[in-house]
Amino acid sequence: MSGGSGQGTQQHFLVAGGGIGGLSAALALARAGQRVTVLEKAAALGEIGAGIQLGPNAFHAFDYLGVGEAARAIAVYVDKLRLMDAATGEDITSIDLGDGFRKRFGNPYAVVHRGDLHGVLLSACSAHPQIELRVKSQVLDYEQDGSSVTVRLASGERVTGSALIGADGLWSAVRKQVVGDGAPRVSGHSTYRSVIPTEQMPEDLRWNAATLWAGPKCHIVHYPLSGWKVFNLVVTYHNDAPEPVAGKSVPMDEVMRGFEHIHERAQQIIRHGNDWKLWVLCDREPVSNWIDGRVTLLGDAAHPTLQYMAQGACMAMEDGVCLGQMMINFPDNIEKALAAYQSRRVLRTARVQLQSRAIGEHIYHADGVHAQLRNTIMRAKTSADWYESLAWLYGNTALSENSMAAAA
Ligand SMILES: Cc1cc2nc3c(=O)[nH]c(=O)nc-3n(C[C@H](O)[C@H](O)[C@H](O)COP(=O)(O)OP(=O)(O)OC[C@H]3O[C@@H](n4cnc5c(N)ncnc54)[C@H](O)[C@@H]3O)c2cc1C
């Protein structure tokens, strides 16, 4: 990976959306020598929600973006990914994230606060002279003439650049025009999130692990966050919820309803939660085309996924890195750079989208014989087996010299 700037004429990229994906793209493009204007709909740049898990591939991306040290400073390094049976309260298996894991993948596995992660990217963007960050700038649509793209903002203002990156999330306005595949698919899975002070977490469960309790049609995730001050709780119930919901406050009784059938040891975790917020999860079918002329998509706008592989933000950052590198490879040819970006990203991100759904069905929400089979298969795996099966995702293959080379 070169990470250096391209030699061609400087282009002006418009990036719709200032989330983790949009800021990663802005940083990567600016480091590739381009000028960037980020157009964010909200009145302030920030992130809603608490924790986020980051695989080693996120750290490969941080290093490329020049924020590796800052990102490492905000992380909690968990020792294990621990899988529990929520129906029986027993251990199923765990993946060791220690030295063997780090050596194999070249980087650690960590959990961070979303706001802290966004803050690291935001400070780097704010400090970069070639990046302009604009808030209250909702992109409605775009038009293009072969050499430039003009976006229309909700304010009525028009902004013109050489290309447009739609990093405007699950409900992307840019995707509506590029792909036009309607509303996202409602998964029917309800996710409730809470953050509790560490002293409220049952003492025997204060593990330095990203722990997942898999139960019939439901699962619970918890891990320590913010220097062990709090635990992040994310609990999901497959209740065939029909409508998308994002961040609605709900009472504890409603949350408990989905978990009455699981073991007391797992149930008690939920009772410690408070101020629960509900999301009804959505994703989309993978599509092969993210490009319209000088416009492309990135992050959740391109490949929204269920969170079951904890990879949505990691993929958004990788997208940004890849886009920047393609502008280094093809500095005078935006169309070629966008095509090269797309061809390197579509199958990898589709794999995450499809595998996340499969994991939900066969691992996280299995019941009866299905669950027994899961436990038997997973208990038979060694650390070496796990590392092998995760190599496609966590290894640096997606951002390596070879896969980022101009001709690859
Ligand atoms: C419960 C849950 C847990 C998750 N856990 C993990 C995890 O552990 N690890 C992981 O890697 N990922 C995780 N994810 C996924 C991750 O949060 C997303 O994939 C990631 O945040 C996507 O980033 P993005 O920048 O593409 O989109 P977004 O974060 O949605 O950002 C889009 C931005 O665009 C702005 N915007 C929207 N429309 C417009 C417009 N028309 N004009 C201008 N601006 C606009 C928005 O205000 C927002 O700032 C999780 C997701 C959920 C729901």
Q: What pLDDT digit, counting tens, does each position of 346-400 carry?
A: 999 999 999 999 999 999 999 999 999 999 999 999 999 999 999 999 987 677 7
Residue environment code for 241-272, b if the CB has 16+ CB neighbours within 10 A, otherwise e: beebbeeeeeeeeebbebbeebbebbbebbeb
Least confident of 43-52, 304-313, 334-343: 43-52
**Mean per-residue pLDDT, 96-101:** 96
Helices 56-65 and 383-394 meet at what angle, rounded to 10? 40
**Nearest atom within ligand 1 for CA of residue 24:** 25
Alpha-carbon distance of 206 to 199, in angstroms, equals: 9
| Atom 7, ligand 1: residue with shortest CA distance | 310
**Mean per-residue pLDDT, 228-253:** 95
Would you state the pLDDT for residue 1?
Answer: 44
**Mean per-residue pLDDT, 36-48:** 93
Binned at pLDDT 50, 70 and 90, residue 54 comes out as very high
**Nearest atom within ligand 1 for CA of residue 137:** 43
Would you state the pLDDT for residue 2?
Answer: 43
Could you report the per-residue pLDDT of 55-69, keeping only the tens digit for each? 999 999 999 999 999
Alpha helices per DSSP H over 250-394:
252-256, 264-271, 312-329, 334-359, 368-379, 383-394
Would you state the pLDDT for residue 407?
Answer: 63
**Nearest atom within ligand 1 for CA of residue 315:** 11
Bridge partners of residue 199, in order along the sequence: none
Bridge partners of residue 76, in order along the sequence: 111
**Mean per-residue pLDDT, 235-255:** 95
More confident residue, 225 or 408: 225
Would you state the pLDDT for residue 293?
Answer: 98
The continuous run of DSSP H or E covering 401 comes out as helix 401-404
Averaged confidence pLDDT in the chain: 94
Could you report the per-residue pLDDT of 117-127, keeping only the tens digit for each? 999 999 999 99
Phi and psi for 352 in degrees, rounded to 5?
A: -65, -45
Q: Which amino acid is at 311?
A: Q
Q: Which tokens is 213 given?
A: 């309790």
- Regarding the beta carbon of 320 and ligand 1, being less than 6 Å apart is answered no
Least confident of 22-31, 109-118, 284-293, 396-405: 396-405
Would you state the pLDDT for residue 401?
Answer: 66
Binned at pLDDT 50, 70 and 90, residue 402 comes out as low
| Atom 39, ligand 1: residue with shortest CA distance | 168
Q: Is the pLDDT of residue 5 over 70?
A: no
Would you state the pLDDT for residue 377?
Answer: 97
Whose structure tokens read 């030295």?
99
Q: What is the DSSP string of 150-210?
A: EEEETTS-EEEESEEEE---TT-HHHHHHT---SPEEEEEEEEEEEEEGGGS-GGG--SEE
Binned at pLDDT 50, 70 and 90, residue 227 comes out as confident
Q: Which tokens is 16 given?
A: 């719709």
Percent of the chain with pLDDT over 70: 97
Q: Which tokens is 324 given?
A: 């920047």
- Regarding the beta carbon of 52 and ligand 1, being less than 6 Å apart is answered yes
Q: Is the pLDDT of residue 259 over 90?
A: yes
Contact between residue 173 and residue 164 where contact means Cβ atoms under 8 Å apart: no
Give residue 66 CA to ligand 1 midpoint distance, Å.
Answer: 21
Contact between residue 20 and residue 38 where contact means Cβ atoms under 8 Å apart: no
Residue of 21, 111, 61, 116 lying closest to 312 (CA atoms): 21
Whose structure tokens read 């935001």?
122
Contact between residue 365 and residue 342 where contact means Cβ atoms under 8 Å apart: no
Would you state the pLDDT for residue 3?
Answer: 45
**Mean per-residue pLDDT, 237-259:** 95
**Mean per-residue pLDDT, 157-170:** 98
DSSP state for residue 60 in the 8-state scheme: H
Radius of gyration of the chain (CA): 21
Could you report the per-residue pLDDT of 195-221, keeping only the tens digit for each? 999 999 999 999 999 999 999 999 999
Q: Is the pLDDT of residue 49 over 80?
A: no
**Nearest atom within ligand 1 for CA of residue 173:** 41
Residue of 70, 11, 45 lying closest to 324 (CA atoms): 11
Contacts of 167 (CB under 8 A, 6+ apart): 15, 16, 17, 19, 21, 22, 25, 297, 298, 299, 301, 316
Provide the pairing of β-strand 158-161 with 163-166: unpaired
Three-class SS state of 117? helix
Q: Which of 14, 15, 20 to mutate to test the pocket of ligand 1 (most atoms within 8 A of CB)?
A: 20
Would you state the pLDDT for residue 7?
Answer: 65
